[in-house]
Copies of this chain bind each other. A is one copy, B any other.
Amino acid sequence: MISPPLRTAAGLLTICCVSMVISSASALGRRPLTRAGSVAFAAVPLRPAPAPLLPSALRGGSPRLSNVPGEAVSRIGGVWGAATGRLASLLNLRMTKKDDREVESYGHRFEDLSTSRDGVIKDIAKLARESKHTNKGKKVAIVGSGNFASALVPIVGKNCARLDEFQDQVNMWVFEEQVEGRNLSEIINEEHENVKYLPGIKFPENVVAVPDVKKACEGANLLIFCIPHQFLGGICAQVKEVAAPGCIAVSLIKGVEFDDNGIVLISQMLSKQLGGMDVSVLMGANLAWEIAKGSFCETTVGYKKAENGATIQRLFDDPLFRVGVVQDVPGVEACGALKNVVALGAGFCDGLDLGDNSKGAIIRIGLMEMKRFIQSHFPGVKDETFFQSCGVADLIVTCYGGRNRRCAEAFVRAKGEKTFEDLEQELLNGQKLQGTPCAEEIFRILEAEGDLDDYPLFQSIYRIAFCGAPPESMIAAVACYGSTSDICEIPEELPTADSIVGSEI
């Protein structure tokens, strides 16, 4: 593979050919070149391309280009898509690589062009020289290389190779560390595997690890942020200097921040630190290892500008990783943070051995409190968002399988002997809980706003986690919830909500 700097330097040397692949819809590549029934692009450089990227028909300069299966041509077209894209626009053709059926529909336009291979190459080489090295594909860079980023790299890499609108090479900024005496970035580039954070999962070869964040993001048109948000400040300052004008971003960072004015979304922080860049978000029921294994899942992209949402959808969409979109950045992002608070409640349920009814009720009440909180703090957030993967699906998965749930269950079973800090160290192997700090901040906001009474579950989870309230009090708190009925007797064996209030620190 030729890296972009080299390709840029090579500039005019890159001459492409459009190979006319003649075929019927049902039997691609069976007809002779002289019958221009359909066409697919296959752009090849004059420098020898790495052999595995070229089907044998092209490697030896075979006169029977028609033997190249449509799919293979399409893939090569993907790798060299930027140049052929320019050519296509000069030819007033819609550039496409995704599907030879679609390419076929443009085939008739070639009927008045040369029909011999040499003729085609000559025509296209001339057009390529005229087009210079203008490159219309978006350059994609990934800021981060942990578990989640590494799980998505195979999809992003594949789509960049497959789709014209993206450049083939995807840079991934890797925080350089030594793994068994070697640089992690070198290991990734040689073995195409992040041996430290996602061993066993191969990356496509068009994903390149770059240890310098400025180099990784130089000229980027689309940035994928996937690092702990504590590091954003230093990183964003560098990225901002080098990103291309009009660059857009998508944040995969789950969590929210809080300042004196209340809740601050990571996407808002990012946008600010990147000089007002348009930032979308991607959140969903997405446990990293399951994505990496290729288990089917869904995700949700929340966008502000429809055009950017659609671009990001195409960048991540895959048959086994379906991307839904909703024009609602705060709704999607806040769901990703608040579900962790609800998962603590689900974990308390499990620790108390309360059974399915109670857990179902706690999850539903949690969803209602999430919805109430988010819609009151971010006017315009849609009900629809809560039906997306980022809403109900992520909540379910987190309440059954997530780390917040697990630690909360252990917290109850420890009967006051262990704090959440203890359990984090004991159970999470260096990872951090997001539910507990979020529960604390949400409590502070609600307290400051005088709205605690509208959030009995959130309030109760905070008091159990931080104020020594007994876990059973969660049920006492929600027993008074939501009903218009006249009764709200707390069963005797449970502590009352009032007694819990008294235990606040």
Contact = CB atoms under 8 A, between A and B. Distances in A.
Interface stretch (A329-337, A354-362, A435-443): A354-362
A368 interface: yes
A354 B310 CA distance: 29
A313 B484 CA distance: 9
The 7 lowest CB-CB distance pairs between A and B, nearest first, are A297-B357, A285-B360, A364-B393, A317-B485, A360-B397, A356-B401, A360-B393
Contacts of A485: 313-314, 317, 322-323
A367 interface: yes
Contacts of A324: 482-483
A363 B296 contact: no
A290 interface: yes
Interface in A284-304: 285-287, 290-291, 293-298
Interface of A: 98-99, 285-287, 290-291, 293-298, 310, 313-314, 317-320, 322-325, 354-361, 363-365, 367-368, 371, 383, 386-389, 392-394, 396-397, 400-401, 475, 478-491
A319 B363 contact: no
Contacts of A387: 364, 367-368, 371, 386
Contacts of A318: 487
Contacts of A360: 285, 297-298, 389, 393-394, 396-397
A320 B489 CA distance: 9
A287 B357 contact: yes
A285 B389 contact: no
Contacts of A401: 356
B285 A397 contact: no
A28 to B, nearest CB: 16
A320 B483 CA distance: 11
